[in-house]
Structure 1
Amino acid sequence: MKRNNKTKQSLLLLVSLWSLNITAQEVWNIDQCMAYAVEHNHIVKQRHLEADNYRMDRMKAIGQFLPGVSGNVSAQYNFGRSVDPETNTYISKSTFNNGYSMEASIPIFRGGSLINQVRKSKANLLLGKAALQEARDNTALETFQAYIDALYYYGTTRLAKQKLAESDSLLYKTRRQETLGLKGMADVAQMEAQQASDAYNLTHQQNLYETAMLTLKQKMNFPIEEALLLDTCLLEQSTLEQEQLAIEHADNVFRLALNCNPVLKQAEMQKQSANMDRKISWSSFVPSISLYGGISSSYYKELHQTGYPPFHTQFENNFGSYFGISMSIPIFNRLSGIANMRQARNNYRIATEQYEAQKEELQKLVQQAVQDREGYLKESIQMEKKVASDSLAYHVTRRKYEEGLMTSLDVQNNAATLLESQTGLLQSKLTYLMKCRLVDYYKGQDIIRNNE
């Protein structure tokens, strides 16, 4: 009875461990991999901190409109010759001085530089957000490409296994027919060579798949030692099921990309920031006006002497305040003002040219992506038809070979043609999916689709 209980407990333990192992091996789809990569990417984290610094710069620019307030407290012991604050004459006594003051100042006019600093900080803040978005998008796109490569080599490995299984089966039948006198040694040798070639190809494809998986894990910053199971449902779908092509012109996609592309947004904000620097440089030629004021009080006493008014009395009697306005007029600054203004103007022109160049580059990328999407869709549809025809031709040739109506070379040629067609279909289908996602990205849609 005890032995049966122990056996049941052992079985329950094994079942629980097996279920935990199955649960731990989660299947990762392409959006989960991209989200994981973005979350753990170091460049994305750096861009996030840089965007926060731009936010602090904007806070400082807004704070320049507020008054600046400072306070001062001093205490001083004098021994020997010093100035008596009551009579303003020199005395030779030991004294103690205690002073308090507070001052405030506020800028009234700075030639428009303060408001332009705020506008520049706003442009830089948007620049930081666009740089952060670019880092996220680039990480997601690189992960997408690595995922597609891993799926491709997974598919080629599966095709290589099927090809090797076909060769093993055909080699077995050829050997059987050779023993019956229906085939010769040349046919057996040819099939053995084909089987060895297919075994090598399988090993080669498995190595490429392992390399692609390593690259994907590195792009994701995924632990190398942990297993990563990919969702292979995309390989089972036909091109018609995946078709997302809509009748739209590349110019329409480009117009949408102008409003949402983070790279172009950065160039636009750099142009706007350079324009604000150009306007700020003008302020060095105009007067600046500030308003200031303050209060102060003090306490004085000779050491080892009595009869001085108490602290609160002196503090009230010595209390004073002041108020004023100041204006600074630039007269000659050793040509630095005119040089800074011309440099700012040149920087603005440079930023304008960079923006126009980036816009042209974006248009080329959009046109290429739309053209590639349409081209790979057509290729995938035609390759599906070709795979169906090559598969039929291979099976007919194999049957005729088994009947002695075809040679082994005919079988090898048809098998190689079928494998090439299947590989081409796999590549064009996966590339079409990637181009569809890229075109949607240029249209303003998120690369990572969490709702799918």
Structure 2
Amino acid sequence: MKFICMAVAGCFALHGEAQEVWSVDRCMAYAVRHNHTVKQRLLEAKNYELDRLQAIGSFLPGVSGSTGVQYNFGRSVDPETNTYNNVSTFNNSYTLEGSLTVFRGGSLVNELRRSKAAVLLGKAALQEARDNTALETFQAYIDALYCYGTERLARKKLAESDSLLYKTRRQEELGLKGLADVAQMEAQQATDAYNLTRQRNLFETAMLTLKQKMNYPASEPLVLDTCLLDASPLSFVKLSADSPEDVVSAALSTNPTLHQAEMNKRIALMQRKGSWANILPQITLFGGVSSSYYKELHKDGYDSFGRQFRNNLGQYFGVSMSIPLFNRFSGAVSMRQARNNYRIASEQYEEQKTELQKLVLQAVQDREGYLKETVQMEKKVASDSLAYHVTRRKFEEGLMTSLDVQNSAATLLESETLFLQSKLTYVLKCRLVDYYKGEEIINCRLNVEN
């Protein structure tokens, strides 16, 4: 089998320079590393981590310092004589204050819980982006393999048409066949040549789509592993006796899309609880030290800056409480909006849960259905192949017409194409079901370097 895979990969390299073969897991890993959406989700997850750090900092006291310089000149009122005089003064103040919020209607605790849920939301969004990128790349990889397989079948069909056309011409020279048979074989050969060209174009388009999904340079060659085309799909897939209910249960606990909906619901709940802070009092402790320096310009007799700074140094401590008595309905409105947002998030979670169950059951059903189709189509290909060779042999002996050969060849080509499609789709569905079961979409044991 290894020899066959190497030979097929060598044929595949005709479309580009000889180089190492890319497996589907390597393509998916490359796509995940170079996907722009994944990079954006990674940065968003880091921002959620910073939001959590900021929420933790809200429990710590805040310290601030301030200083001010004031220069007064012109006429002013003397507080001792209550008369006007012209004097210029210089005033300098310093303050160092710390404050600690003791109670804010529970918003501090709820904000911390919300930030923790947001961190989990960011991780789930990042995982979802990675998984979606890998699955889209897997689909594009399967499409490219299918197009290459159909191109290979078209090439094989054209080679048989060339051989049959040559024999028919020789038989016509010997008087065993007529010109009509030769013309019919020439038309079939032209049709097969056109089909080969068309399949090559489809393959090139599929490869371009795969490179775009991977964010791979379009100008560089990409050689895919084609062993899957010649091997039984059962050798690439782990058979499992898991019931659909087991797969659904695993998906509900591991799927990142559903996990995002769950975290959005939790965030909405924390925001709903935090909205109570709009109608509850806020208590803050504060304290600090302050000092100042004062001097009338163009007048002596004032203490030095250091002496005044020490003499004017004072401390203060206090407690403040803010009670919202009437905030123009903003508190009640925000509470009702938060309650509605929580209900919306709950409905979205239930909707996402139902949709996920549907997708999982559909994937399991598709896997079983395509397995049955693959087994049946494999038998049909064997029967159609035998029928085609018998029909061709009888045509060469003059017992069948050229139309019989064409119909038999078309039936065989259609069976081989459907068999290839069902086999590759079965492999795709198996990987999808394994993903829903909680397994990694990318085989991490493989070497996935650039």
TM over 0.5: yes
2:436 to 438, 442, 446: 442
Q: Which amino acid aligns with 1:448?
A: I
Q: Which amino acid aligns with 1:224?
A: A
C-alpha spacing 1:240/1:138, structure 2 compared with 1 (3 Å): closer
Q: Which amino acid aligns with 2:332?
A: I
Please state if 1:401 is matched with 2:395.
yes
What SS does the corresponding residue of 1:229 show, helix, strand or coil? coil
Give the corresponding residue for 1:120. Answer: 114
* Mapping for residues 85-164 of structure 1, pairs under 5 Å: 92-164=86-158
Deviation at 1:306, TM superposition (A): 3.0
C-alpha spacing 1:72/1:240, structure 2 compared with 1 (3 Å): closer
When structure 1 is superposed on structure 2, of 52-61 and 433-442 the one drifting more is: 52-61
Give the corresponding residue for 1:14. Answer: none
Please state if 1:238 is matched with 2:232.
yes
Q: Which amino acid aligns with 2:130?
A: R
Q: Distance in 2 between matches of 1:327 and 1:171?
A: 99
What SS does the corresponding residue of 2:369 show, helix, strand or coil? helix
Q: Distance in 2 between matches of 1:446 and 1:57?
A: 29
Q: Which amino acid aligns with 1:173?
A: K
C-alpha spacing 1:221/1:190, structure 2 compared with 1 (3 Å): same
Per-residue Cα deviation, 1:341-374 (whole angstroms, up to 9, x for no partner): 1111111111111101110000000000001111
C-alpha spacing 1:92/1:442, structure 2 compared with 1 (3 Å): same
Q: Which amino acid aligns with 2:426?
A: Y
CA contact (8 A) 2:233 2:427 kept: no
CA contact (8 A) 1:145 1:434 kept: yes
Please state if 1:352 is matched with 2:352.
no
C-alpha spacing 1:87/1:327, structure 2 compared with 1 (3 Å): farther
Q: Distance in 1 between matches of 2:316 and 2:81?
A: 22
Deviation at 1:331, TM superposition (A): 1.8
Give the corresponding residue for 1:419. Answer: 413
C-alpha spacing 1:316/1:85, structure 2 compared with 1 (3 Å): farther
Give the corresponding residue for 1:10. Answer: none
Per-residue Cα deviation, 1:147-175 (whole angstroms, up to 9, x for no partner): 11000000000000000000000000010
What SS does the corresponding residue of 2:69 show, helix, strand or coil? strand
Give the corresponding residue for 2:217. Answer: 223
CA contact (8 A) 2:70 2:91 kept: yes
Deviation at 1:240, TM superposition (A): 3.5
Consecutive unaligned residues in structure 2, runs of 5 or more: 1-15
Give the corresponding residue for 1:302. Answer: 296
Q: Distance in 1 between matches of 2:362 and 2:300?
A: 94
Q: Distance in 2 between matches of 1:78 and 1:299?
A: 14
Q: Which amino acid aligns with 2:60?
A: L
Per-residue Cα deviation, 1:35-59 (whole angstroms, up to 9, x for no partner): 1111121111221222222222212
Give the corresponding residue for 2:263. Answer: 269
Give the corresponding residue for 1:196. Answer: 190
CA contact (8 A) 1:174 1:188 kept: yes
What SS does the corresponding residue of 1:291 show, helix, strand or coil? strand
C-alpha spacing 1:297/1:77, structure 2 compared with 1 (3 Å): same
Deviation at 1:193, TM superposition (A): 0.8
Q: CA RMSD in A?
A: 1.9
* Mapping for residues 371-386 of structure 1, pairs under 5 Å: 371-386=365-380
Give the corresponding residue for 2:31. Answer: 37
Q: Which amino acid aligns with 1:351?
A: A
C-alpha spacing 1:84/1:72, structure 2 compared with 1 (3 Å): farther
Using structure 1 for the length normalisation, give the TM-score: 0.91
Deviation at 1:242, TM superposition (A): 3.0
Using structure 2 for the length normalisation, give the TM-score: 0.92
Q: Which amino acid aligns with 2:229?
A: L
Q: Which amino acid aligns with 2:231?
A: Q
Per-residue Cα deviation, 1:200-239 (whole angstroms, up to 9, x for no partner): 1101111111111111111111111111111111112113
Please state if 1:326 is matched with 2:320.
yes
Q: Distance in 2 between matches of 1:208 and 1:76?
A: 80
